[in-house]
Amino acid sequence: MTKKLIIEGMMCSHCTGRVQKALSALDGVSAVEMDLEEKSADVTLSADVSDDVLTAAVTRAGYKVLSCAGAGVPPNPRPPAGAPAFCAPGGIILPFLIDFFPG
């Protein structure tokens, strides 16, 4: 079985690496394919793993799961491009302050 997670806050390859590592460490997860552009993870399961367990692993890595759906089930729409966040070195997610930047 495959589940697709839509994840908020991934802005760079370091971010996707953290999420992939967290999901891959779970019992019952046989493969994880990350897509930075889609802000998603396709998780292939070798055993039954609940959405709550997958979500908790992503949360511990510092990100938020917006939706989790099984194969063939369309996930909730992802947030619009240019979400108000940026990734600082070390994977720290900080709010984007528009007034901070001139122009």
Q: What is the pLDDT of residues 5-51, one digit of tens each?
A: 999 999 999 999 999 999 999 999 999 999 999 999 999 999 999 99
Q: Which tens digits make up the pLDDT trace of 50-94?
A: 999 999 999 999 999 999 987 544 444 555 555 555 555 444 444
What is the rounded CA–CA span in Å between residue 44 and residue 26? Answer: 11
So what's the architecture of 2-73+85-100 in CATH? 2-Layer Sandwich (3.30)
